[in-house]
Structure 1
């Protein structure tokens, strides 16, 4: 990356980033393995050899590195973190910047690290800032990891921008869907979390796109409306969940009630505001201030064809809405949390909010709790096998493009708790990683079953935006 320092001259400053809401013991184990791999590669490494859990610790580490003659800055993305500290480090250090994230086993349990998603957020932030960066997503015990690390730090794994192409097609489904979202109304309930530029939006730009109007509502207002839900509405919400899920009686009943109350509260807001979709700040306040997860109600609303994007992602809500109209079926706004070149697959996941019609028919959907925040209601099931389409109206690198991709959801055991599926994309996993990093895409993609790529191309053409193929 530096192009000037030889391997012997290079001095690598490291920032091992993590969050305490993930599996700290496992993260510490993985960090030790990452450091051992760097040492075995003969790289001169300086900086903290412990996890940095917050901004204060990270800034202290950056200050210390600033006083040293480092040639490169390497972010060790040990667990998920938002992009704030990577963006700050990119401004603080002029030296070449690289990020190394690590995969985790797909064992059906909790998503213990979610490091890939942290890499994705960081890449998007760096793309918006026009900052060059290198990237690596690999286990510290992979064969050839030492060579991969040398390649990362010598500039062989730089993010290369991906050129979109003009949209094409006249599929009437796409044209009709583009027409249907013109003048759409989206309610953003609460502001997107700090460090999530992936979820930011510009009212003027989204308005110009299709006359979309966004109303910004206070998160506390949603909580207040949930508190005023009557017994009959609450009973209806519970019956709706009970018809699809087993295990409702196994979770904390007071927290379950608070969670269920959010569904009729959102429905009331939809009726009053004539909203087509919602973008809701789901954490931490739904847990820390309200006391119940919105994930289950989001699944229910999605099944009812009212997309609700988490993390107040307005463009995510609009993307799900358009895809839903093209597919004439529910859409699921998901994270891509893993890519494995050896198996040529990825894992799409979200806490527990996929529409229940997407469940594998051989797996009974279960009621569960949020893996980090330990509150209900979340849905839990593996996604059913079949052809799937991915879509997002993206603002990556400061331009508006339609991201379109396809793949095959495989019949595999549940990769991680919540709602998740193992997918073989049309693009090989290794190449897909390069495209996502190069385009610096957002971490949310809308998913629907069926092959709708041609129709989405027609929708993009109607909206006057180019296409970026996954």
Structure 2
């Protein structure tokens, strides 16, 4: 079989380890008898993508090795016209406990899956490292043309809450505004949204601010307000004393600017294009500023995820309290655990130990300021509104599990969640079903209310 193997990655991750995994993947395919074509070096630039496209013609099987995380631009440029399913191969996280995500490979596969399914394509997921027996068996089957079917997506079958109470909760969203800063990051298809649909379904509006306008607000923050926020932030989280005071001061200015903008326009939520401009132009990451705002009752979303904002506001209206937007980054099949993570914007009240919600540097950028603590333990639910691939509206993902105690597996904010369903089926369903890489975690079970809300909004539910 002629196999086109395209290894994608991003320079901000551990590219040496990513290259090693890609080399091992290629060696295994060759050992199994495949005629492997495709670039040997990691595909990370537009020029790399253009060169890789020439290897697809005549291939019997296309395997995209998600050697590390990458945005979805390579997927859209390479596979938009691919008729057969693309096999996305994601690796396990190799780094030690407490270190950053070295690869974030599974999240990259999730983002690829969303982009391709949304544009009419098909994907399958292979999860595991090249030396694993189950990986070898899956590849042997794929090389005979036996790709597994995408798992069926389950419907909601649980109880519903009182319709009138839910109707009242949904009505409370009408006329409220989401603050949206900047455009979606390049290749982040889940951060795109339809403002008309947002208003039609939820009654929510958008208050837009460009990156340049946001930075102008930050620069206009007075020194007294900046110093006052600096002192308040350090008093709340003394670990800020261990960081570069210049970066903490910039963090304070960003917090004040976001708080003033939110208050002036009575914003219900704030979704921010948090990179690359904040670290490259301001010299600081806004994660802990988003954390401060969330702790004050204004849900925040990194990577300008507006449908993520709609999910969090709906959960809040239904009584879920504070929630957090996370990536799906790792799967421990033996323990039936999925690890949910993001780089450090969780409100400190969501920490497993709020008194020790350490503030640190960003895991990839190595500049301040971002949280570094495990998330709250106990029962959790997962929820997410996203595009309905069968029509022009939305659909709702729901899941549940138990957030387990333990160390912070990855630098940032991590929750190890033992699912109430089969964790492998959940992860495969996320990727092949075209769901976003962002899900919302909440620690109050409002699944009956969510199901009733979906019924009232005429939104199909996929519930694991």
- TM-score (ref. length: structure 2): 0.93
CA displacement, residues 420-440 of structure 1 (integer Å, 9 cap, x when unaligned): 111111111111123212321
The answer for the alignment partner of 2:224 in structure 1 is: 232
Distance 1:141 1:240 in 2: 51
Contact kept? 1:400, 1:465, Cα under 8 Å = yes
Aligned position for 1:53: 44
The residue number in structure 2 matching 1:6 is: none
Kept in 2: contact 1:167–1:458 (CA 8 A)? no
Structure 1 position 200 matched with structure 2 position 189:
no
Aligned 8 A contact 1:363 1:382 in 2:
no
1:81-127 deviation per Cα after TM superposition (whole angstroms, max 9, x unaligned) = 01111122113544542111111136220011001111011101111
Q: Which residue of 1 aligns with 2:403?
A: 409
Q: Alpha carbons of 1:32 and 1:246: their partners in 2 closer, same or farther (altered >3 Å)? A: farther
Residue 54 of structure 1 deviates from its aligned partner by 1.3
3-state SS in 1 of match to 2:436: coil
SS at match of 2:284: coil
Question: SS state of the match for residue 377, structure 1?
Answer: strand
Q: Cα distance 1:363–1:265, how it changes in 2: closer, same or farther (>3 A)?
A: closer
| 1:135 alignment counterpart | 125
- Kindly indicate whether the alpha-carbon contact (under 8 Å) linking 2:154 and 2:463 is maintained by their aligned counterparts in 1: no
Work out which of the residue numbers 61, 64, 73 in structure 2 matches 1:75. 64
Structure 1 equivalent of residue 318 of structure 2: 326
Distance of 1:160 and 1:366 partners within structure 2: 40
* Equivalences for residues 73-152 of structure 1 within 5 A: 73-94=62-83, 96-105=85-94, 107-152=97-142
> Secondary structure at 1:192's aligned position in 2?
coil
Distance 1:330 1:42 in 2: 52
Structure-1 residue corresponding to 2:360: 368
Equivalence for 1:389: 381
Q: Which residue matches 1:209?
A: 201
TM-score, normalised by the number of residues in structure 1: 0.92
Which of the numbers 250, 258, 268 marks the counterpart of 1:258? 250
2:27 aligned residue (36, 42, 45): 36
Summarize deviations over 1:164-199 as a string: whole Å, max 9, x none: 459972346644431221222112110001211111
The two structures, once aligned, show a CA RMSD in angstroms of 2.0
State the distance in 2 between where 1:145 and 1:37 align. Answer: 10
Contact 2:82 2:121 in 1 (8 A): no
Q: Return the alpha-carbon distance in structure 2 between the equivalents of residues 70 and 33 of structure 1.
A: 20
Compared CA separation, residues 337 and 214, structure 1 to 2 (3 A): same
Which 5+ residue runs of structure 2 have no aligned equivalent? none
CA distance in 2, matches of 1:192, 1:158: 32
Q: Is the 8 A contact 1:178 1:462 kept in 2?
A: no
Q: Secondary structure at the match of 1:315?
A: helix
1:299-448 to 2 correspondence within 5 Å? Answer: 299-361=291-353, 364-397=356-389, 399-448=393-442
Asked whether the 8 Å contact 2:123–2:432 carries over to 1, the reply is: no
State the alpha-carbon separation in 2 of the partners of residues 34 and 92 from structure 1.
25
Alignment partners' CA distance in 2, 1:332 and 1:268: 22
Separation in 2 of the partners of 1:393 and 1:123? 16
CA distance in 2, matches of 1:225, 1:287: 16
3-state SS of 2:92 partner: coil
The whole-number CA distance in structure 1 between the counterparts of 2:251 and 2:304 is: 18
Provide runs of 4+ in structure 1 moved above 6 Å.
none
Residue segments in structure 1 that go unaligned for 5+ positions in a row = 1-9
The count of aligned residue pairs is 459
